[in-house]
Every structure is written in structure tokens, then in C-alpha cells.
Structure 1
Amino acid sequence: MAGNVPPVADERDGLLRFLEQQRHVLKVAAHGLTDDQARLTPTKSALSVGGLVKHVASTEDGWLDILLQRPQKPFDEAMADYRSGYRLGPEETLESVLKRYDEVAARTAEVIAGIDDLGRPVPVPKGVPWYPQDVEAWSVRWVLLHLIEETARHAGHADIIREHIDGGTAIPLMAAAEGWPENGWIKPWTPQPA
């Protein structure tokens, strides 16, 4: 996938393609990292590239459960998952969280394909402190827009963290991940000797 979303057929196609693009640029920030590098937190924040991929996959999957009106986890369990969701655990690999993210993306495509009306209401879970209590429902469209926003925010975080790890920046990393040839404008990222 190149740096821009191709022309879209309609609203649904556009929303899914822009979400796909943001997922892609987040994964590009992880390109070429080792598991140890994916765990690094080189800035003042506790965020790591691997943890961000894990978090965004979990968040997208959770929004699908809300959209499908599946029962939510008890608050204490949800908070424990949230806290551990930003860290790539010692038993986890970057490859495993990237694979899970791809599985979640496929689930999103399948679920959205089965919904005729993007305006369909999605009831707001009640009693959850981070959801508005004065809103009865979002729409499927709103959920997709929110997922694009959430993914884009964390893709930006991952870009900053990656640059702190080894100097890799978005366009050279994308060129490397996608196999672009070197030209006068861009030199694809390559690992630097230690």
C-alpha cells in the first residue's frame, strides 16, 4: 500500500480504506524492529511500538464487541487489560501482536460487510466511566470514524517512538516495508550496524 489511500467507491469503502491505511502506517513503524526494540520506551511516556500495536488491536476488537452488543468485561478486568494492553509482555512477540492485529482487521472487514446501514445505532455501554452517560447511541459510521482517529493518534505516537529507537522515520520505513526502489527523493530504511 502506497502512502495515500487510492480513490474510493463509496462511504463504506472510504471508511474501511482509511482505517486500513492508518493500520498500515502503524505497522510500518514496527518494520524491522526486534522484539526487544519493540518493547523499548525511549521517551518520557511508557509507550512502546509493540505495546501500541497490541493496544490498538485490542481497542478495535473491543469496539467490534460494542458494535455487536456483546457483553462487556467487568470493570476491574477491563482496567487490568487496559493497563497491560500498552506493554508487549515477556511472552509476547512483535510478530504475534502484528498477527493478532491482522486478525482483528479481517474481523472488522467481515463485521462491517454484514451491516447494511452505517447509520445503525450502536448503544453506548452504561456504567462505564469513559463513555458518555448522556448519549444513548453512536452509529456504526461514528465507530469507524473513531477507530480511524484512535489508530491515527497511536500511529503518530509510534512514529515518534521509532525515531527515538533507531532514527527510522515514516517515509523511509514505508519505502523499505513496501520495497520501493531508491531514487533521488527517497532512500528506503536499512538497519544500521550496532
Structure 2
Amino acid sequence: MTQPRTDTKSHLHEYLVAGRDALLWKLEGLSEYDVRRPMTPTGTNLLGLVKHLAGVESLYFGETFGRPFPEHLPWIQDDAEANADMWATPDESRADILGLYERVRAFADATITELPLDAPGRVRWWPAERADVTLDRILVHVATEVHRHAGHADVVRELIDGMVGMRVGRENMPESDLAWWADYRDKLEQAAKAAG
């Protein structure tokens, strides 16, 4: 039996990987249209979340530590159109975006593996008084951002087809059927009306 990892860097990295995997699972089994369709008034969509995080991880685990990601990502440049990183153009296929994110993940994982937690870096787009960072701070920042967007993906996927949970088997959801959820939602609606 192998011993569980106990070092902080491994724990942080495991949380980052878990968030990435939960986000990517939300795209499984959906059509090209469904992974792209805007499901909120601000346009939140599943493939856009993956594209956004590819840019985020490439910058935070790359440029921040003087290790630029080797591919040009036009949507993260200073002169890019607003929110260009939050949606996929018709010319950007799901395979393109997922392949990019796989390469970015490998790149980010190499930075995490090769540098110590106290490795210094600089986030040029943060205010000067906070711009000097360590790998530790960036790991926490990015893992938190990935999980935040995985939560967005949870809601978007539920709106598309009702699929819920962090992974196959819904280990984090109560065992239930559609009738149970309908009753539960009605209960919450009644509670909101009574409070309002």
C-alpha cells in the first residue's frame, strides 16, 4: 500500500488537478452546440470556460515565473477583444481547445514540479504592491480560480441537460431521481415565497 502524499505542494497540485478534471467532465457527451451555447445573461458557456483557463494557467505558471508558454494565444494579449477568452469562435473546434488545455496543463504541471513553493515570480497585471508572488501563492490562486469556474460549469451543465455532480456516479450528490429533485425544488420555492 502506498503512503498518501503529505507535502503542501502535492496537496495543492491535487486540488488543482481535481478542479480541472471536474470542469472537463462537464463537456462529456454534449454536442458541439451545447458546449458553446451561452447559458447565462453574460454568455457563460462550457468551452469558453476551458479556453479561459488555458489562458489563465499559461500566464500564471508561465510568464509569472519567466517561463513563457511556447504557443501564441491571441485572446490573452493586451490588445485582445474584451472577453475573447470566454468563448470559442466557429473556427476553434472543441478538439482544438481541449488539446490546447491539455498542453497548457502539462506545461503548468512542469512548472509546479520543477519549482519549489517559495520560487519567486511576478504577476505584471496585478497591482505593484501585490505583484511579487511565490509559486505557493499562485498555486492557491489558480486552484481557487479553476474550482470557481468548475462551479460555473456545474450550473451550466445542469441548465443544458440536468446532469449534476463532480464526476461520473455523482459521488457528491444525494441519491435521488427527477421526482425527488422536483419536490425538493418546490420546497425551496415555497420557502422563498414564505420568506419574501
Distance 1:84 1:34, change over 3 A: same
Normalising by structure 2, what TM-score? Answer: 0.75
| One-letter amino acid of the counterpart of residue 157, structure 2 | R
Question: Structure 1: 5+ residue runs without aligned partners?
Answer: 1-5, 188-194
* Residue 24 (structure 1) shift: 0.5
**Structure 1 match to 2:169:** 175
Larger radius of gyration: 2
Alignment of structure 1 residues 1-194 onto 2, 5 Å:
7-69=4-66, 77-80=77-80, 83-115=83-115, 117-125=116-124, 128=125, 131-171=126-166, 174-175=168-169, 185=175
Question: 2: CA distance between counterparts of 1:145 and 1:86?
Answer: 22
* Residue 112 (structure 1) shift: 1.8
Is the Cα–Cα contact under 8 Å of residues 51 and 101 in structure 2 kept in the other structure? Answer: yes
Distance 1:149 1:79, change over 3 A: farther
Count matched residues.
Answer: 169
* Residue 71 (structure 1) shift: 7.0
Is the Cα–Cα contact under 8 Å of residues 120 and 132 in structure 2 kept in the other structure? Answer: yes
Normalising by structure 1, what TM-score? Answer: 0.76
Is the Cα–Cα contact under 8 Å of residues 40 and 165 in structure 1 kept in the other structure? Answer: no
Question: Structure 2: 5+ residue runs without aligned partners?
Answer: 178-196
| One-letter amino acid of the counterpart of residue 134, structure 1 | E
Is the Cα–Cα contact under 8 Å of residues 67 and 140 in structure 1 kept in the other structure? Answer: no
Question: 1: CA distance between counterparts of 2:68 and 2:82?
Answer: 17
Is the Cα–Cα contact under 8 Å of residues 47 and 94 in structure 2 kept in the other structure? Answer: yes
Q: Deviations over 1:30-88 (max 9, x none)?
A: 111111111111222211001001101111011122332257999x9325166211011
Question: 2: CA distance between counterparts of 1:24 and 1:132?
Answer: 31
Is the Cα–Cα contact under 8 Å of residues 45 and 156 in structure 2 kept in the other structure? Answer: yes
Question: 1: CA distance between counterparts of 2:4 and 2:129?
Answer: 37
% identical equivalent positions: 28
Higher relative contact order (CA 8 A, sep 6+): 1
Question: 1: CA distance between counterparts of 2:5 and 2:54?
Answer: 24
Question: 2: CA distance between counterparts of 1:186 and 1:62?
Answer: 41
Distance 1:71 1:92, change over 3 A: closer
Question: 1: CA distance between counterparts of 2:111 and 2:45?
Answer: 29
Is the Cα–Cα contact under 8 Å of residues 58 and 68 in structure 2 kept in the other structure? Answer: no
Distance 1:77 1:120, change over 3 A: closer
